[in-house]
Amino acid sequence: MVDLSGKIALITGASQGIGAAVAKAYASAGAHVILLARNKRKLERIDDAIKALGGQATLIPFDLSDSDNIKNLGPLLQERFGKLDIFVGNAAMLGTLGPLTDISAREFNQVMAVNVTANFLLLKTLNILLKASEAGRVIFLTTGVDIVKGHAYWGTYAVSKAAVESMAQVYAGENEQSNIRVNIIDPGAVRTDMRSKAKPGEDPMSLPAPDDIMARFLELTSNDCQYHGEILKV
């Protein structure tokens, strides 16, 4: 079991699904978790679950499409915590699945704003905090859909995840000599709301629950983690 006592972890999209499971897993391991998501009521439910586990959380209701205000997050966390040990960029929008040329420019920009631009801006504002950690850890999520060759009808989501993978690997390359380790997790098919929207005919009970796939998320936070710039399947 990874011991995260004394660690500060920020998880986006933490109000449900994989993000909520990561928050609970890290809190159970001893981390103080910072939960960022749009829905305050859902965040409060996860906070209750974390308290029931004996953990501690800070809630930040926030819309990641509000790119103008993301830059303020780093200074706020600097003042409160002085460092950030773990950043999990989990929040994402699925968008419309269908022919790429049928997607509106407005929706394309909205999905890219949440899935790509927000993560870029978060890295910018959190970079100094991650470097203040003894062992900064960054984890992004990708998809099992083949985004290297391109996957027809997966629209902006596939495009955005290809961009996230590239961005994570660029940031990893720039931190070869630092205390930061950056990796990407492909969680596979998991029982989430997004999965049910993407695969409406699938039996959700045939899939693992988010809580069942946490081993890899914990492994990548350890001080002796050797993975860096890699895409790892659960």
Q: What is the C-alpha to C-alpha distance for residues 117 and 69, in angstroms, rounded to an integer? A: 13
Cα(98)–Cα(39) distance, rounded to whole angstroms? 27
Residues marked as catalytic: 157
Q: Give DSSP secondary structure letters for the chain.
A: ----TT-EEEEESTTSHHHHHHHHHHHHTTPEEEEEES-HHHHHHHHHHHHHTT-EEEEEE--TT-HHHHTTHHHHHHHHTS--SEEEE--------S-GGGS-HHHHHHHHIIIIIHHHHHHHHHHHHHHTSSS-EEEEE--SS-TTT--TT-HHHHHHHHHHHHHHHHHHHTTTTSS-EEEEEE--S---HHHHHH-TTS-GGGS--GGGGHHHHHHTTSTT----S-EEE-
Which structure tokens are listed for 50? 């974390």
**Tell me, what amino acid is at 127?**
N
